[in-house]
């Protein structure tokens, strides 16, 4: 199988991730729940994972690195902390349902959508500035579109927010491990990311980087301050009710180590080169429409396309039958498709990881050529 669906999850993981999960399942209990070896080992692993994440993402205090079950989990904490009924919120036109659905669940939110065209960061920045000048209680922005690989001007948008004192939330689902993400430089209220995509950890893991006081989404046992009948004020305990996923955390630690050793710039360069190779070959196929920019200056290793006269999901099925794994349809991001003008058709998305090869790209484009005949 040619696996080109890293934007959903990186199915291909470093072997060390699997080994770490197996060891944790056999040898670790819960951190902070005792003094015996199994809990001590869990505490050490927990601390090492937080500390490495803090170093990678420029977080001053590892305690501000909170374990979640997914980026969606983290975004829900961030949104429900900052956004109350009647708030004015500004988002990009490329947000995932992990952002839009929680917002729509809060009554009377005044939502401004910045629907600037694809690969036009200057236009997007100007529209964000105009919206912020009109007043906002929070800004939520994806770093990279999960549909189109479009790198939004998140650093510049964060700077606009800092100057106006508006809390900024970054969805780093498609950038963590693939682009530099600095909590210190962004000055974000929260940054949410999954563990199972560009960080090469297991599914069921995520991180929420906290630069703002947070409201718990779940309440329960923490292994600390047990006499209290409300959640502790201190991070990370305030946001980590219940038993920790130690096999997941152990696997995520090894994924973070893998990314740190490979280097984010090296990973990003490899993925972009393969996406550009795919773009060059797909451009020569009659009827194929590509959503990309020349040179991929504002694009990661993600490429969306559609074929004239072909239903995208049917095309995805044809490619699957030939042995290629891609994502077709609306990608849980109808807002992004509406902004880009692809809501009625959807697209087929190619999303590449560090484990993919030029030979796989060549075989895949031959499959597309056969599928669209």
Q: Which helix (H) or strand (E) holds 324?
A: strand 324-325
**19-73 residue pLDDT tens:** 999 999 999 999 988 889 999 999 999 999 999 999 999 999 999 999 999 999 9
As a whole number of angstroms, the distance between CA 363 and CA 328 comes to 19
Percent of the chain at pLDDT above 90?
A: 95
Q: Residue 220: CA atoms inside 13 Å, Cβ hemisphere, count? A: 7
Cβ contacts of 55 within 8 Å, gap of 6 or more = 260
Average pLDDT, stretch 148-176?
98
- Residue 31's Cβ-count burial label (10 Å; 0-12, 13-18, 19+) is buried
Mean pLDDT of 112-129: 98
Q: How far apart are the first and last CA of the chain?
A: 22
pLDDT at 179 over 90: yes
3.40.190.10, 2.160.10.10, 3.90.1150.10, 1.10.357.10: CATH of 2-11+263-371: 3.90.1150.10
230-286: per-residue pLDDT in tens? 888 999 999 999 999 999 999 999 999 999 999 999 999 999 999 999 999 999 999
Please write the tens of the pLDDT for every residue from 295-331.
Answer: 999 999 999 999 999 999 999 999 999 999 999 999 9
Structure tokens at 14: 């470093």
The pLDDT value given to residue 115 = 97
Q: Which of 292, 297, 298, 266 is closest to 278 using CA atoms?
A: 292
Kindly tell me if the per-residue pLDDT of 214 is higher than 90.
Answer: yes
Buried b (16+ CB within 10 A) or exposed e, 74-97: bbbbbbbbbbeeebbbbbbbbbbb
226 has a pLDDT exceeding 90: no
Q: How many whole angstroms separate alpha carbon 93 and alpha carbon 16? A: 38
Instruction: Judge whether 2 and 188 are in contact, CB under 8 Å.
Output: no
What are the CA-CA distances from residue 7 to residues 3, 76, 180, 257, 302 (Å)? 11, 20, 17, 20, 8
**pLDDT at 33 (0 to 100):** 85
Name which of 212, 256, 199 is nearest 238 in CA terms.
212
DSSP-derived pairing of the beta strands 347-351 and 302-307: antiparallel
Residue 349: DSSP 8-state? E
32: phi > 0 → left, psi -120 to 50 → alpha, else beta; which?
left
- The strand pair at 65-68 and 206-210 is best described as antiparallel
What does the alpha-carbon distance between residue 372 and residue 364 come to, in Å, rounded to a whole number? Answer: 13
- The pLDDT mean for the chain works out to 97
Asked if the peptide bond before residue 236 counts as cis, ω within 30 degrees of 0, the response is: yes
The DSSP bridge partners found for residue 112 are: 90
pTM: 0.97
CATH code reported for the domain at 15-262 = 3.40.640.10
Q: In the chain, what are the domain boundaries?
A: 2-11+263-371, 15-262
Which helix (DSSP H) or strand (DSSP E) does residue 275 occupy? Answer: helix 264-282
Tell which phi-psi region holds residue 356, choosing left (phi > 0), alpha (psi between -120 and 50) or beta: beta
């Amino acid at each position: 199988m040619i696996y080109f669906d890293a934007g959903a999850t990186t199915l291909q993981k470093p072997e060390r991730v699997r080994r770490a999960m197996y060891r944790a399942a056999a040898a670790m209990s819960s951190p902070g729940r005792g003094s015996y070896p199994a809990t001590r080992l869990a505490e050490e692993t927990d601390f090492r994972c937080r500390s490495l994440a803090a170093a990678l993402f420029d977080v001053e205090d590892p305690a501000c690195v909170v374990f979640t079950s997914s980026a969606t989990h983290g975004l829900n904490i961030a949104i429900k902390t900052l956004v109350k009924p009647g708030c004015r919120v500004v988002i990009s036109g490329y947000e995932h349902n992990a952002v839009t659905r929680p917002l729509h669940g809060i009554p009377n939110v005044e939502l401004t959508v910045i629907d600037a065209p694809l690969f036009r960061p200057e236009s997007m920045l100007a529209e964000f500035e105009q919206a912020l000048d009109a007043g906002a209680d929070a800004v939520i922005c994806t770093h990279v579109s999960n549909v189109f690989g479009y790198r939004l001007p998140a650093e510049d948008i964060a700077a606009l927010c800092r100057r106006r004192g508006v809390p900024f939330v970054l969805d780093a689902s498609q950038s963590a491990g693939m682009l530099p993400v600095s909590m210190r430089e962004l000055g974000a209220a929260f940054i949410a990311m999954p563990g199972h995509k560009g960080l090469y950890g297991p599914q069921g893991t995520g991180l929420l980087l906290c630069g703002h006081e947070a409201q718990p989404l779940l309440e329960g046992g923490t292994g600390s301050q047990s006499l209290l009948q409300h959640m502790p004020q201190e991070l990370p305990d305030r946001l980590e009710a219940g038993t920790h996923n130690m096999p997941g955390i152990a696997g995520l630690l090894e994924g973070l180590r893998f990314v740190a050793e490979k280097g984010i710039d090296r990973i990003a360069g490899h993925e972009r080169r393969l996406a550009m190779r795919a773009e060059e070959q797909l451009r020569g196929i009659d009827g194929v429409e590509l959503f990309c920019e020349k040179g991929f200056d504002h694009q990661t290793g993600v490429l969306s396309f559609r074929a004239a006269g072909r239903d995208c999901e049917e095309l995805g099925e044809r490619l699957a039958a030939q042995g290629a794994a891609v994502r077709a349809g609306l990608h849980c991001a109808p807002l992004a498709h509406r902004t880009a003008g692809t809501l009625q058709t959807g697209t087929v998305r190619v999303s590449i990881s560090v484990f993919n090869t030029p030979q796989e790209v060549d075989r895949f484009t031959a499959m597309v050529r056969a599928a669209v005949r």
